[in-house]
Amino acid sequence: HWDLPQSLQDLGGWTNRVMAEYFEDYAKVLFTNFGDRVKKWITINEPTSIVFGYSLPLSMAPNVLTPGHGQYLAMHTILLSHARAYRLYDREFRETQQGKIAIAPSLTWITPLTNTEEDNDAAERALQFSIGWILHPIYNRDGDYPPLIKEWVEKKSVKEAYYRSRLPSFTQEEIQMLKGSVDFLGINHFTTFQASNTFEGKKMPYLKDADVELSQLPAWPCGAATWNKMVPWGLRKLLNWIAREYANPLVLITENGYSDNGQLEDVDRIRFINSYLNEMMKAIYEDGCNVFGYTAWSLMDN
């Protein structure tokens, strides 16, 4: 993540829509030079990891904190960049190179903290604000951001005395360009969170507009990274939700794995990968989810 050239960051980075034009130019260089050998492309890996650098105080590059604005502007440009690269491949390279194009968001399963109606609604809002934010413009037949996100961000914007929503708008041409702009879906998945209904989420500022607070059970096993808790059943639930929401798209698990402390006897990592693979196989063979591959995180320790 976060390898944007400084000259482009000086223009505002991903919050500047001109980035989509530069990204298309960059994609053309890659397709031209490597497309005869590379047959599966990921345009953007983990868009949310990029946009959090414009909204969350987590020291992620570029660490330009404009919460409530920056994440929406950056994601908007990233989605347009992805779509432009996809349409470029269609126009100039697909016929000769016969490759496939995808985007690979990091998708977390989110389950209600309790079985109350409020927490069930909160979990659905969290899924739309985290997954639908990226995938609804691509997979939904109407395109655009999910109506729920548009409604909630506009409501919060009005409350804050803005004369229009903080969520950017797509033109009709952009909506059409984004719709169907993948040949498969890459999914990075590591863990699960619980959602509770709250007033302007406290722990996760990016869910402030959704009135959701996320948490994890202390009893869930975790590795060297405290966020990387082992909740294998969450992968199966995630794959089923995506299948229902987006007409069972073709999926490649592009990242799934476990961080330990570097010891050679990594039994916990083996347990993690084994349990997640089992849940993935259940999603495929018992539930009918359209998953065609799995890539462990990662080829090298990082």
As a three-state string, the secondary structure of the chain is CCCCCHHHHCCCHHHCCHHHHHHHHHHHHHHHHHCCCCCEEEEEECHHHHHHHHCCCCCCCCCCCCCCCHHHHHHHHHHHHHHHHHHHHHHHCHHHHCCEEEEECECCEEEECCCCHHHHHHHHHHHHHHHHHHHHHHHCCCCCCCHHHHHHHHHHHHHCCCCCCCCCCCCHHHHHHHCCCCCCEEEECCCEEEEEECCCCCCCHHHHHHCEEEECCCCCCECCCCCCECCCHHHHHHHHHHHHHCCCCCEEEEECECCCCCCCCCHHHHHHHHHHHHHHHHHHHCCCCCEEEECCECCCCC
pLDDT tens, position by position, 4-54: 999 999 999 999 999 999 999 999 999 999 999 999 999 999 999 999 999
Stretch 68-89: mean pLDDT: 98
* Active-site residue flag, 245: no
Query: pTM score, two decimals?
Result: 0.96
Stretch 166-183: mean pLDDT: 99
* Active-site residue flag, 46: yes
Rounded-to-integer distance, Cα 276 and Cα 198, Å: 31
Report whether pLDDT(302) > 90: no
Report whether pLDDT(206) > 80: no
Q: Delimit the domains of the chain by residue range.
A: 6-294
Q: What are phi and psi of 50, to 5 degrees?
A: -80, -50
Report whether pLDDT(68) > 80: yes
Catalytic residue, from 46, 124, 174, 213: name it: 46
CATH number of 6-294: 3.20.20.80
Mean pLDDT of the chain: 95
Confidence of residue 181 (pLDDT cuts 50, 70, 90): very high
Catalytic residue, from 124, 213, 245, 255: name it: 255
Report whether pLDDT(285) > 80: yes
Q: Which CA distances in Å does 253 have to 8, 54, 56, 85, 227?
A: 30, 27, 26, 21, 19
CB-based contacts of 243: which residues, under 8 Å, 6+ apart? 249, 287, 288, 289, 290
Report whether pLDDT(75) > 80: yes
pLDDT tens, position by position, 116-148: 999 999 999 999 999 999 999 999 999 999 999
Q: Token match 């999603």: residue? A: 283
